[in-house]
Structure 1
Amino acid sequence: MLTELSIQNFAIIDEISITFNEGLTVLSGETGAGKSIIIDAIQLLAGGRGSVDYVRHKSNKAEIEGLFTIESESHPIYDIGKQFGIEISDEQVVLERTITKSGKSICRVNGKLVTLAILREFGKTLIDIHSQHETQSLMDGDNHIQLLDLYDFHNIKQAKDEYTYLYEKLQRLKQRYKQLNENEQETAHRQDLLEFQLKELEEANLTPDEDEILERERNSLANFEKVYSALQDAYNALYGEGKGLEWLNQAMIALDEHENIDPFINEKAEEIANHYYSLETLVFDFRNYIDNLQYNPERLNEIESRLNEITRLKRKYGPTVNEMITYTAKIEEELEQITNKDVHLTALVEEIEEVEQDAILEAKQLHDLRKKAAEALTVEIQNELKSLYLEKAKFEISFDSDLENPKLHSEGFDNIRFMISTNPGEPLKDLTKVASGGELSRIMLVLKKIFAKHQGVTSVIFDEVDTGVSGRVAQAIAEKIYEISKASQVLCITHLPQVAAMADTHKLIQKHERDDRTSTTVTELSVEQQMEELSRMITGTKLTETAKEHAKEMLELANAFKKKNQ
């Protein structure tokens, strides 16, 4: 969940720091106080599009920082962290976004600089923002097939993984067929190039690890005097009259004469003897190596020339000799395929047909599983719509699937759309084409409630999604938002007292003028202050005893509902 949010020099916000809790947090305040500006800041933190207009007047930059606490070890954020090389420790993720007055955007995740695209990858697994002004992923028809698969994830996952493997293999085979079947002129040019490269690499007669072996030999020859001097000095220090081995031998003799007197002397005499013979062997190794050392300037020139040739080839064929040898094998394989193109094309066609049939079988299994999931999801959505006073609405999941001549795509051969009719006698239409804003809000809340537990999003944010509703519908929406907050942290901007009464935490956003400048503050309300704020939301600026009684009653009813649904 979003635990801490820090905003500096952003729009009319000078500097604020907000602590968020679990459950449902309501943000209320007068129009223009800065409620939606806070949501804009969070949206930028999740990778939204920035603008210099967000930088506060007379400031050099706007800064936003958010601390997220990750409670589940299986949260997808960990996989994303591994993918982009960002360590996630202590179950915490910090997102940072800076926008300068020149328009430059700087993004960080856990202190590491990232691109906006990478920030967006992290943001979409942590924050899900819904507002009345924009099309959400839940309302986007292109996402409906993924949502259906997510609904019955445990049953569909294995079939989908198997299909995806076959589909990707099929695409690779088709791409290979296309490459082999390209026009004769391009094929001839490709063949000439490969034959030239193969000839050059074969004439080089490269051997595994040759570059590393030659570099070590070159280093040894180039530093011959240093090597010879070091070995000779070590040898002279150990061997000869009055040198290391002779003194060690005298120590060994001194102990040998008395080894039967004391067990300690006996033990140490054996140890020093072992050391003596080991050093003696080492000295002989030094002598033999020194005797075989020869400075050969001609060999050094040969090595330099060979390394220069290898360096030239590396610029064309790979950073190491081993990779160039691997590339040589690939050239030989591709040349063989071009030379025997017709044979390979025939084999590819057969393999494509075989893999395609296997993929179609897996796609049909996916289709059957989705049909079952769609039936269960339809029933659940229908029941949820009734609870929001859309009992006349009809929901259906449309399958545009040609079972006789299936056209495969990355998700199978199904093309799925969520369809709805909100009034009796009206035909089912695409979900995104429902007319009423109030209806759209309720439908979106139904989908959000059902899918929130499946999507694993840390924080769900509602920005005035309850606009255009009142009365019993407003109460039903309040209850639905609270139910969503049991699965995910919910931050909700609202003007509805019914929704505000459901809050576990209520924060008041206010706008102030100081030193001829406007700034925004955020205050967490006590129970008494919350009751006063509800009263204002009911009646406007003027507080009345009736409004206070009504607010108190709303809080009591909300608490009773929450206890009942714990």
Structure 2
Amino acid sequence: MLSQLFINKIAVIDKASIDFERGFTVLTGETGAGKSIIIDAIHVLLGERASKDLIRTGEKMASVSAVFSDLPDDILSLAESFGVPVEDDASLLIYREIRTEGKSACKINGAPVTVAMLKEIGQLLVSIHGQHESYELLSEHLPIQYIDSFGELASLLTSYQNSYHKLKEIQKRLDSFNSDEGEKARQIDLLRYQIEEISSADIHVGEQDELITERNSIRNHEKISSSVEKTQNLLVGDEERNGILSDITMAAEEMESLSEWLADAEKASQKLREAQYLLEDADEIIREINVDFDTTSLDIIENRLDLLHKLHLKYGTDEEQILSYLITCEQKLHDIEFADEEREKLETEYEKEKEKAILLAKQLSGSRKKAAERFAKQVKEELQFLNMLGFEFLVEVSRVPLNNKGCDKVQFLVSANKGEPPKPMSKIASGGELSRIMLSIKTVLSGKDNIDTLIFDEIDTGISGEAANKVGEKLRHVSLNRQVICITHLAQMASFADNHLFIAKNEREGRTFTEVTILDENKRIDELARIIGGNEITELKRKMAKEMLDKVLDK
């Protein structure tokens, strides 16, 4: 539940701290005092769009924070998945900051979160219902969502949507086969040319590096031959002198002859023998070096490198990319040349998936019709309780072509007068009737989600008298299991509240300030009297207000 709300520098509210209780809480006050701004602040807190226009004039930033307590495990687990630390008290402190310059900041329990994360959690914490949402009943999208929620059809809808999306993907692939025949011919010619050009080159990975090395060797063959010969002479000697290898071998033998008397001589001989063996290995390697270069092959190598360079420019930066491009071309050519076979395969797959989607859509439609019948009956009972006697409410489920929601169009039909045929709500229902229909629907749906806090923003628009009493009674009934917060202009509705908050607008030093006060019993009587008859509070009005409160307590 929403336990505390703190608003800072938003519109006419400089600073306001509000403590909320369980049960039914009403907010009242004169028009323009800032009641709707409190709702706007809660919207911002729950991740809705934060307009910089909300920031109080002359300020550079504004903020809203709230404590939600006694939260269920699923909300706490979601918060933890976002990296939010969760304490044992099962509560969350949510903070959002808006700035005139720069991005806004969002935090939960001190941990930074994105607006998307905030919105995902916010949807589970609070459900806000206002006049704008009542008018959404007139849209063609909301009714089907309500029926699916009431019938608990999310799993069946997901199964259908998975099949439908797969069907659309197959259709997209089939459509790709229907391109212009001339374009297909051009693609085939291009692909065959590219395949032939790469294949005939017969390249292999690393070839360019090998050719560059070979080319450099040929270009420097004289220096290579000279260095190899000189090194061999130094190692093994020539006609004029012994080589290093011979000298080291003799030195090792001299030290070995002294090893009987000198330990260091034996160590020296071992090191010399190691040097001898290393030099012999080096000599063997040098003898294997090929110094017989075919200088006539240099033109062949240059031509080959030139070919590889052209292929690199067209098909990839190295041989591996070129060969990968070849495989891609071969696959594309295969797909085009064997398009008829692939099309037949896809058409078979399409018909199979279409049959599955239609079956799931029919199952979904059947479940919706059953749910719609139960839903209409329960909503009608709620409407009768709200003093809308003789008001007919029906849910029409009609067949439409397959779409993302199935094969149904769901529409709410109403008849305000007995004997008149039900028609779409947009042609009949008034603002006040829409408010009561929305309350009835939300009451019926209340058991289908775990949202603990319901906020109703001026749901009393267009109603009065006994209807207002019924709406107030219904809200009080809903608050037995959930926290209900309601902004109202009607004394009848306000009298049903467990808690009453008064929103007042004052002026200090030429600035407007909004303050929130918790009313005790006497102040509640005064506020109800003010709502009944204006700012002049008489004893008669106070008596009427007290009777309202007493009547609620007697129920």
Q: Same fold (TM over 0.5)?
A: yes
Unaligned runs of 5+ in 1: 207-290, 292-312, 562-566
Shift in Å, 1:449: 1.0
Task: Give, in whole Å, the separation in 2 of the partners of 1:117 and 1:20.
Answer: 26
Task: Give, in whole Å, the separation in 2 of the partners of 1:24 and 1:498.
Answer: 14
Q: Which residue of 2 aligns with 1:549?
A: 543
Preserved contact between residue 26 and residue 505 of structure 1 (Cα < 8 Å): yes
Preserved contact between residue 198 and residue 326 of structure 2 (Cα < 8 Å): no
Shift in Å, 1:326: 11
Aligned CA distance change for structure 1 residues 13 and 383 (closer, same or farther; 3 Å): same
Preserved contact between residue 421 and residue 428 of structure 1 (Cα < 8 Å): yes
Query: Per the alignment, in what secondary structure is the counterpart of residue 400 of structure 1?
Result: strand
TM-score calculated relative to the size of structure 1: 0.69
Preserved contact between residue 416 and residue 429 of structure 2 (Cα < 8 Å): no
Shift in Å, 1:401: 0.6
Task: Give, in whole Å, the separation in 2 of the partners of 1:10 and 1:423.
Answer: 45
Task: Give, in whole Å, the separation in 1 of the partners of 2:47 and 2:91.
Answer: 18
Q: Specify the code of the residue in structure 2 equivalent to 1:467.
A: T
Preserved contact between residue 191 and residue 330 of structure 2 (Cα < 8 Å): no
Task: Give, in whole Å, the separation in 1 of the partners of 2:70 and 2:513.
Answer: 32
The range that moved more, 86-95 or 4-13, is 86-95
The range that moved more, 492-501 or 451-460, is 451-460
Query: Per the alignment, in what secondary structure is the counterpart of residue 125 of structure 1?
Result: helix
Q: Specify the code of the residue in structure 2 equivalent to 1:362.
A: L
Question: Does residue 1:170 correspond to 2:162, yes or no?
Answer: no
Preserved contact between residue 67 and residue 93 of structure 1 (Cα < 8 Å): yes
- 1:64-95 alpha-carbon deviations (Å, 9 max, x no partner): 223334623345x855874xx45473444444
Question: Does residue 1:513 correspond to 2:507, yes or no?
Answer: yes
Q: Specify the code of the residue in structure 2 equivalent to 1:145.
A: I
- 1:316-344 alpha-carbon deviations (Å, 9 max, x no partner): 99xxx9x9999999887666434422111
- 1:293-323 alpha-carbon deviations (Å, 9 max, x no partner): xxxxxxxxxxxxxxxxxxxx9xx99xxx9x9
Aligned CA distance change for structure 1 residues 34 and 440 (closer, same or farther; 3 Å): same
For these two proteins, the number of residue pairs brought into alignment is: 441
Aligned CA distance change for structure 1 residues 136 and 72 (closer, same or farther; 3 Å): farther
Task: Give, in whole Å, the separation in 2 of the partners of 1:142 and 1:478.
Answer: 29
Task: Give, in whole Å, the separation in 2 of the partners of 1:373 and 1:130.
Answer: 23
Shift in Å, 1:14: 0.7
For residues 62-461 of structure 1, the aligned pairs below 5 Å read 62-69=62-69, 71-74=71-74, 82=81, 85-87=82-84, 89-90=86-87, 91-102=90-101, 104-110=102-108, 111=110, 116=115, 119-133=118-132, 135=134, 137-153=136-152, 156-183=153-180, 336-401=334-399, 407-461=401-455
Q: Which residue of 2 aligns with 1:25?
A: 25
Q: Specify the code of the residue in structure 1 equivalent to 2:67.
A: L
Shift in Å, 1:485: 2.4
Shift in Å, 1:100: 2.4
Q: Specify the code of the residue in structure 1 equivalent to 2:150.
A: Y
Query: Per the alignment, in what secondary structure is the counterpart of residue 506 of structure 1?
Result: strand
Q: Specify the code of the residue in structure 1 equivalent to 2:123.
A: K
Aligned CA distance change for structure 1 residues 544 and 121 (closer, same or farther; 3 Å): same
Task: Give, in whole Å, the separation in 2 of the partners of 1:190 and 1:116.
Answer: 47
- 1:438-472 alpha-carbon deviations (Å, 9 max, x no partner): 21221111111111322433432212111222211
Aligned CA distance change for structure 1 residues 196 and 130 (closer, same or farther; 3 Å): farther
Task: Give, in whole Å, the separation in 1 of the partners of 2:181 and 2:476.
Answer: 66
Shift in Å, 1:490: 1.7
Task: Give, in whole Å, the separation in 2 of the partners of 1:204 and 1:529.
Answer: 92
Preserved contact between residue 26 and residue 501 of structure 2 (Cα < 8 Å): yes
Task: Give, in whole Å, the separation in 1 of the partners of 2:79 and 2:359.
Answer: 32
The range that moved more, 464-473 or 87-96, is 87-96
Aligned CA distance change for structure 1 residues 182 and 114 (closer, same or farther; 3 Å): farther
Task: Give, in whole Å, the separation in 1 of the partners of 2:541 and 2:482.
Answer: 32
Q: Specify the code of the residue in structure 2 equivalent to 1:472.
A: E
Preserved contact between residue 449 and residue 483 of structure 1 (Cα < 8 Å): no
- 1:503-525 alpha-carbon deviations (Å, 9 max, x no partner): 12211111122222211111112
Aligned CA distance change for structure 1 residues 414 and 133 (closer, same or farther; 3 Å): closer
Q: How much identity, in percent, do the aligned residues show?
A: 36
Question: Does residue 1:530 correspond to 2:524, yes or no?
Answer: yes
Task: Give, in whole Å, the separation in 2 of the partners of 1:113 and 1:105.
Answer: 13
Aligned CA distance change for structure 1 residues 13 and 178 (closer, same or farther; 3 Å): same
Shift in Å, 1:134: 5.5
- RMSD of the alignment, in Å? 3.7
Aligned CA distance change for structure 1 residues 345 and 399 (closer, same or farther; 3 Å): same
Q: Specify the code of the residue in structure 2 equivalent to 1:100.
A: R
Task: Give, in whole Å, the separation in 2 of the partners of 1:194 and 1:131.
Answer: 65
Task: Give, in whole Å, the separation in 1 of the partners of 2:525 and 2:395.
Answer: 43
Task: Give, in whole Å, the separation in 1 of the partners of 2:85 and 2:194.
Answer: 49
Preserved contact between residue 28 and residue 507 of structure 1 (Cα < 8 Å): yes
Q: Which residue of 2 aligns with 1:15?
A: 15
Q: Specify the code of the residue in structure 2 equivalent to 1:420.
A: V
Aligned CA distance change for structure 1 residues 384 and 176 (closer, same or farther; 3 Å): same
Unaligned runs of 5+ in 2: 207-277, 279-311
Query: Per the alignment, in what secondary structure is the counterpart of residue 399 of structure 2?
Result: coil
Task: Give, in whole Å, the separation in 2 of the partners of 1:107 and 1:184.
Answer: 56
Q: Which residue of 2 aligns with 1:499?
A: 493
Task: Give, in whole Å, the separation in 1 of the partners of 2:180 and 2:374.
Answer: 52
Aligned CA distance change for structure 1 residues 187 and 124 (closer, same or farther; 3 Å): farther
Aligned CA distance change for structure 1 residues 133 and 172 (closer, same or farther; 3 Å): closer
Q: Specify the code of the residue in structure 2 equivalent to 1:344.
A: E
Q: Specify the code of the residue in structure 1 equivalent to 2:410.
A: I
Task: Give, in whole Å, the separation in 2 of the partners of 1:71 and 1:194.
Answer: 66
Preserved contact between residue 512 and residue 520 of structure 1 (Cα < 8 Å): yes
Q: Specify the code of the residue in structure 2 equivalent to 1:22.
A: R
Task: Give, in whole Å, the separation in 2 of the partners of 1:421 and 1:81.
Answer: 48
Aligned CA distance change for structure 1 residues 72 and 118 (closer, same or farther; 3 Å): closer
TM-score calculated relative to the size of structure 2: 0.70
Structure having the higher Rg: 2
Q: Specify the code of the residue in structure 2 equivalent to 1:132.
A: Q
Preserved contact between residue 106 and residue 113 of structure 1 (Cα < 8 Å): no
Aligned CA distance change for structure 1 residues 187 and 17 (closer, same or farther; 3 Å): farther
Query: Per the alignment, in what secondary structure is the counterpart of residue 523 of structure 1?
Result: strand
Aligned CA distance change for structure 1 residues 326 and 50 (closer, same or farther; 3 Å): farther
Preserved contact between residue 396 and residue 411 of structure 2 (Cα < 8 Å): yes
Task: Give, in whole Å, the separation in 1 of the partners of 2:523 and 2:324.
Answer: 73
Aligned CA distance change for structure 1 residues 117 and 185 (closer, same or farther; 3 Å): farther
